[in-house]
Amino acid sequence: MKRYWLTPPELEKYKVAKFDPCPYPLPVGHDALNMTWEKPWYCNPPFHMNTRFVRKAISEGSGYLVGPIPVAIAELLRSRAQFVEAGRYRWLECDTREPMPSPGMSAVWCITEVEKP
């Protein structure tokens, strides 16, 4: 069973956009990934399709995309850490040094000291 998650009240302020490519309930035949999004837009995509919606949102521009992220990434973003590089890196097994067979995405972050007020 698929579950859908509506925008929480704390994020309603971003729904000022006039177009929602992912309304709930979805109209029959609606395909947000294969249509042009009217600007400005607000998108709360199905979480299981998040990567496809991120790519679509980047290509459309001028809107708000919301969704969950890992706590560690949120903390890095809040700290203003600088994102340096991303890719699929083949991490090495500690004892054999054999490369990871199916690596996921990894990131490199540069964290600098921040002056305290």
Contact 86, 107 (CB under 8 A): yes
Per the rule left: phi > 0, alpha: psi between -120 and 50, beta: everything else, 29 is left
Q: What pLDDT score was predicted for residue 2?
A: 76
Q: What is the pLDDT of residue 114?
A: 66
pTM over 0.85: no
| pLDDT one digit per residue (tens) for the chain, 117 residues | 778 899 999 998 998 878 999 999 999 999 999 999 999 999 999 988 889 999 999 999 999 999 989 999 999 999 999 999 999 999 999 999 999 999 999 999 999 976 666
Please answer whether residues 22 and 46 qualify as being in contact, where contact means their C-beta atoms are separated by less than 8 angstroms: yes
The per-residue pLDDT for 57 is 96
Q: ∠ CA(64), CA(71), CA(33), 5° rounding?
A: 35
Q: What are phi and psi of 82, to 5 degrees?
A: -90, 125
**Burial class of residue 36 (count of CB atoms within 10 Å of its CB; 0-12, 13-18, 19+):** exposed
Radius of gyration of the chain (CA): 18
